[in-house]
Amino acid sequence: MTTTPPPTAGAIDCDIHPSVPSIEALLPYMADHWRDTIVQRGVHDLETIAYPKNAPLTARPDWRPAKGLPAADVATVQAQALDPFATSIAICNCLYGVQLLMSEDIAAAFANAVNQWMAAEFLDRDPRLRASIVIPTQNTEMAVAEIERWADDKRFVSVLMLVMDENPLGRRLYWPIYAAAARHGLPICVHAGSAYKHPVTSVGWPSYYTEDYAAQSPAFHNMVSSFICEGVFAKYPDLTVVLAESGFTWLPAHLWRLTKFWRGLRAEIPWVDRTPTEIARDHFRLTLQPVDAPPTAADFERLMEHMGSDEMLLFSTDYPHHQFDGNAVLPEGLSPALARKIMVDNPKNTYPRLQ
């Protein structure tokens, strides 16, 4: 019996999330001192409030195991994320609370352990898998050192940061990270999530998890402003920033606003020498899921016109997060030609290491 390949066959999935099954899984990848620290001081896992284990969004019901965390081993990822969508490549963005730690030393140890674990447990076991390098953003030098450690391993295709760190991501203290990324042909993947060094909203801590997740979107707006206004792309013209799990339907309106204020206030940021809209189209890419789509396909088509570019979206399932059901990963209103660009051409053009 032959089966029809799914419409996503051959797609490059730019955002999936293997879980660190437990802190014990990382111990083999840590130096004695840190292993002792974790055991003797009783460090729990680094799961965060960004994805409460049993929250409906954290894992789709059919992707939720009877025991333990979703997507915690390569066989599960193959069976749930790769095979059903027939994806050719999937990029693993490991969301583990490394960025939340207060000690930069512990953060560096965890970042390195997560990367080693990712290489050994996933990348070595399926040639379709790629990953983002987890870095300790708490200390820029240590972050750069971690990038350098993995730069020769071409299966690491980007560098992972959270959208809410201790400082806005365009700030100059991060620039050595961007220099290293640009030097090695690695886009920066800015993923939803917070280091929780500040309240997730500009008006303080919300009451509900739903608001925490909603707050990711304004944070992405803020960081687009930050990267552009600080002049990151004037300094690193080859740098690409991938916004992952960001939603994208907000982007046109945000760029209208930012561009309007740039017209009035550009004297403050003279290195921004063309409109933020143009800069964004050249340097930002956004993953597909969650779509946050308007109610009808016709509205979606109008929105895609507002985007003003067919090169910005990158296919993603956001596996195992529950953003869609079945294999309805492509929103209605997407033309076949655009779907093909989003699934294959745009990812290849975004990640130099996938060419």
Partner 1 sequence: MNIQVVDRPTGAAKGKAKLAIADCDIHPSPKSLEIEIYPYLSKRWQTYLETYGFIYRQGFPNGPAFPKGQPDAARRDAYPPNGGRPGSDLDFMREQHLDPNNVQLGILNPLKSGQGLQNNDFAGAYCRAVNEWQIAEWTSKEPRLKASLMVPFEDAKTSVTEIDHWAGNPHFAQVLLLSRTAEPLGQRRYWPIYEAACRANLPVAVHAFGYGGTPVTGGGWPSFYIEEMVGHAENTQSLLTSMVIEGVFERFPTLKVILVEAGFAWLPALKWRLDKLWHRMRDEIPHVTRPPSELIQEHVWLTPQPMEEPEPREHLLDTIEWIGWDKLLFATDYPHWDFDDPARALPLKLSKERRENFFLGNALDLYGLR
Q: Which of residues 43-62 bind partner 1 (CB under 8 A)?
A: 55-57
CA 347 to chain centre: 13
CB of 265 to partner 1, least distance (A): 4
166 binds partner 1 (CB under 8 A): yes
- Residue 204 DSSP SS3: strand
Q: Which of residues 56-95 bind partner 1 (CB under 8 A)?
A: 56-57
CB of 117 to partner 1, least distance (A): 27
Q: Which of residues 281-340 bind partner 1 (CB under 8 A)?
A: 290, 292-295, 299, 302-303, 305-306, 322
CB of 28 to partner 1, least distance (A): 33
CB of 1 to partner 1, least distance (A): 36
Whole-angstrom CA distances from 100 to 96, 107, 150, 185 are: 9, 8, 22, 27
> Residue type at 28?
P
Phi/psi at 68 (nearest 5 deg)? 80, -165
Of the two residues 48 and 249, which places its CB atom closer to partner 1 in the complex? 249
In the chain, beta strands by DSSP E: 12-16, 89-92, 129-134, 156-164, 188-194, 241-244, 284-287, 313-314
Q: Tokens representing 195?
A: 């280091």
When binding is defined by CB under 8 A, the residue of 70, 247, 320, 331 that contacts partner 1 is 247
> Residue type at 277?
T
165 binds partner 1 (CB under 8 A): yes
CB of 222 to partner 1, least distance (A): 4
- 3-state SS, 140-201, equals HHHHHHHHHHHCCCCCEEEEEEEEECCCCCCCHHHHHHHHHHHHCCCCEEEEEEECCCCCCE
169 binds partner 1 (CB under 8 A): yes
Nearest-angstrom CA–CA distance, 327 and 131: 23
Binding part of the chain for partner 1, among 4-12, 21-29, 139-147, 261-269 by CB under 8 A, reads 261-269
Nearest-angstrom CA–CA distance, 12 and 107: 30
Nearest-angstrom CA–CA distance, 35 and 32: 5
274 binds partner 1 (CB under 8 A): no
Of the two residues 228 and 354, which places its CB atom closer to partner 1 in the complex? 228
Q: Which of residues 100-159 bind partner 1 (CB under 8 A)?
A: none
15 binds partner 1 (CB under 8 A): no
When binding is defined by CB under 8 A, the residue of 43, 175, 250, 310 that contacts partner 1 is 250
Read off the DSSP letter of residue 156: E
> What length is written for the chain?
355
Task: Count Cβ atoms below 10 Å from residue 118 Cβ, excluding itself.
Answer: 27
265 binds partner 1 (CB under 8 A): yes
When binding is defined by CB under 8 A, the residue of 62, 126, 238, 268 that contacts partner 1 is 268
253 binds partner 1 (CB under 8 A): yes
CB of 247 to partner 1, least distance (A): 6
How many residues touch partner 1 (CB under 8 A)? 72
Nearest-angstrom CA–CA distance, 269 and 52: 40
Largest CA distance in the chain: 66
252 binds partner 1 (CB under 8 A): yes
Residue 252: partners with Cβ closer than 8 Å, 6 or more residues away = 303, 306, 307, 308
Q: Which of residues 194-233 bind partner 1 (CB under 8 A)?
A: 194-195, 197-211, 213-215, 217-219, 221-223, 225-226, 229-230
Of the two residues 252 and 347, which places its CB atom closer to partner 1 in the complex? 252
Of the two residues 55 and 344, which places its CB atom closer to partner 1 in the complex? 55
Give the closest residue to 167 by CA, choosing from 226, 116, 221: 226
CB of 150 to partner 1, least distance (A): 25
